[in-house]
Structure 1
Amino acid sequence: MATKQTQVTAKIMMSPAVLMLLAWMIVPLGMTLYFSFLRYNLLMPGMEEFTGFGNYEFFLTDPAFLEALGNTLLLVGGVLLATVIGGTFLAILIDQPIWGRGIVRLLVIAPFFVMPTVSALVWKNMLMHPVNGLFAWITRGLGAEPVDWLADLPLFSITVIVAWGWLPFATLIILTALQSLDSEQKEAAEMDGAGPISIFWFITLPHLSRALTVVTLIETIFLLSVFAEIYVTTGGGPGTASTNLPFLIYIQALLQYDAGTASAGGVVAIILANIVAIFLIRMIGKNLET
């Protein structure tokens, strides 16, 4: 058992790292809050003036804000739906005793190690390109007109790209939980006459509930800040059809050079992300208590 002196020594040794971590978080947040109350254009340095909540009002009343918020929610919801359902299906599939199961598992989790920018470029130029892409080649082979995915269905296309990158993560977490399921429960259910669907619905799915909650929590936190896939593929367009909140803040800051409004948008995004995180943390807490 640690003595009081040992605990004090441990705290003293940890304090530099803790202080550095706090500074790394608080300094950027403090600067963002400071600039959010200023009328600050990057092209006119030295001409800043206090504007109060004017930047927040301008950002929240911007017609692009509501569309960006809706696109953010649709993107997060679409990716979660695809990865949770697809990850559960793949986890059950590769958990079966098939030949080359190790190689299959490696191939399934491989996309998670590809950088988002690289995967977006591959999808844009090799798969979804309306002239030279694989999908266009297959469509023409079937005698139909190719679809310009990134122009006609931009948000759906980005959802597919992001879901492809996050599917291995969901599969890996769900597979780990699936392997901890006691096989005797399934055998007992089979002896009682339960079919595969009943076993999945009443035994497997309840057992996976915690893993599914963890996947939902972690993915949601990261999906709220998707940027690279949008920047590389659609640039937020056509118009603002695929613009989410992080990309709207980027437009305000580095394309319109309005650092004040972009900082206000960043604060709004932080507040919304924390609301979602608190809700999900409470949900996962209730799930773990049961």
Structure 2
Amino acid sequence: MAINRFMQQRRRVNTLPLVAPSVLVLLVWMIVPLAMTLWFSVQRYNLLNPTLTGFAGLDNYVYLLNDPALWRAMWNTLVLVGSVLAITVVFGTLLAVLFDQHFPGRWAARLLIIAPFFIMPTVGALIWKNMLMHPVNGIFAWITDLFGLPPVDWFANLPMLSVIIIVSWQWIPFALLILLTAIQSLDNEQKEAARIDGAGPVQMFFYIILPHLRRSISVVVMIETIFFLTIFAEIYVTTSGGPGLATTNLAFLIYIKALLQFDIGAGSAGGVIAIVLANIVAIFLMRTVARTMDS
């Protein structure tokens, strides 16, 4: 009776006053910047010409949609996101299978392979730019010199590939962590049964491990896509969006419009376009993940 009376009292407790402050802070934190972005996107607001003010309507959007830089930035964003996703998922899966095996020093190797994910993007990009990919003093230049080959100026001749390599290096450990955890949840009896039936390593990978990782791969793709749409630090530190617009993605184009050209209206309109595209991608990915979970 005492337990039932205690449970009834618990049900009468109103938890709204406890939850309301946190919910209110989150709403303000999300809605206020969004509302300001929407407001500035329909205003004439250029820091270089403070006298030019007033309601612009859809002029900022029309200006951006007619700007070839927007479409180049969207294409670069698609190439960057798609390439890094493919690299991180493929290498993350292969490394997860490798590090699931027993070998001497496995824990030290796991620690080292995961380390790049905990390095700040700016620091990682600086290391790649000045210590690895530098055409004169970089390690890659020293290696090519050993073979009598000319050094490669990565950020001038292969700028997009350079950014893809740097971002992939940072995010492969994330995919590895998620997929390694998923592999370790695989039932050992299922693997033993497959080995008894004569399945080799290749058959084990394609018919046992890979189907088991399907849900985890979907989650990795969803999370990484959301982050890759906003890649900025790696581009800012290494190429500054160049040469020309070769590595300018949508996030960096917004930075150029708002903080380099001081056109707050156009930059805000670009931000709204980025929000719309990110939500479309997020809805598609969440539905895909939901279908994968249901199946």
The residue number in structure 2 matching 1:227 is: 232
* Equivalent position of 2:140 in the other structure: 135
1:57-136 mapped onto 2 (5 Å cutoff): 57-136=62-141
1:151 and 2:156 matched: yes
Letter in 2 for 1:287: T
Distance in 2, matches of 1:23 and 1:242, equals 34
Q: Which amino acid aligns with 2:12?
A: Q
Mean Cα displacement is larger for which, 184-193 or 121-130?
A: 184-193
Residue aligning to 2:169: 164
Aligned partners of 1:5, 1:25: CA distance in 2, in Å? 32
Counterpart Cα distance in 2 of 1:134 and 1:201: 37
**How much has 1:235 moved relative to structure 2?**
0.3
Question: In structure 1, what is the Cα distance between the partners aligned to 2:228 and 2:198?
Answer: 42
Partner Cα separation in structure 2 for residue 144 and residue 69 of structure 1: 35
Kindly provide the amino acid, as one letter, of the partner of residue 13 in structure 1: L
Could you tell me which residue of structure 2 aligns to residue 259 of structure 1?
264
SS in 2 for 1:50: coil
Task: Measure how far apart 1:191 and its partner are.
Answer: 1.5
Tell me how far apart the structure 2 counterparts of residues 82 and 199 of structure 1 sit (CA, whole Å).
22
Which residue of structure 2 lines up, in the alignment, with residue 17 of structure 1?
22
Q: What is aligned with 1:272?
A: 277
Matched AA of 1:168:
P
Comparing 41-50 and 206-215, the one that deviates more:
41-50
Alignment partner, residue 51 of structure 1 = 56
1:214-266, Cα deviation, whole Å (9 max, x unpaired): 11000000000000000000000000000000000000001100000000000
SS of corresponding position for 1:65? helix
Aligned equivalents of 1:164 and 1:73: distance in 2? Answer: 18
* TM-score, scaled relative to structure 2: 0.96
Letter in 2 for 1:231: Y
> Corresponding residue for 2:243?
238
Matched residue, 2:196? 191
Inter-partner Cα distance in structure 2 for 1:132 and 1:51: 50
Q: Which runs of 5+ in 2 are unaligned?
A: 1-6
Show the counterpart of 2:4.
none
Secondary structure, counterpart of 2:176 in structure 1: helix
User: Offset at 1:203?
Assistant: 0.6
Counterpart-to-counterpart distance in 2, 1:94 and 1:14: 42
Q: Distance in 2 between matches of 1:269 and 1:57?
A: 15
Inter-partner Cα distance in structure 2 for 1:241 and 1:53: 28
The whole-number CA distance in structure 2 between the counterparts of 1:167 and 1:154 is 20
Deviations 1:145-187 (A, max 9, x none): 1111111111111011001001111000000000011122122
Match of 2:12 among 2, 5, 29: 5
- 1:193: how far off? 1.6
2:3 is matched with: none
Q: Partner amino acid for 1:55? A: N
**SS at 2:174's partner residue?**
helix
Q: CA deviation at 1:4?
A: 4.5
Task: Specify the alignment match of 1:33 in structure 2.
Answer: 38
The residue matched to 2:246 in structure 1 has which SS?
A: coil
SS in 1 for 2:168: helix
Measured in 2, the distance between the counterparts of 1:115 and 1:121 equals 10
Q: Which runs of 4+ in 1 moved over 6 A?
A: none
Identity of matched residues, %: 61
Pairwise CA distance, 1:39: 1.2
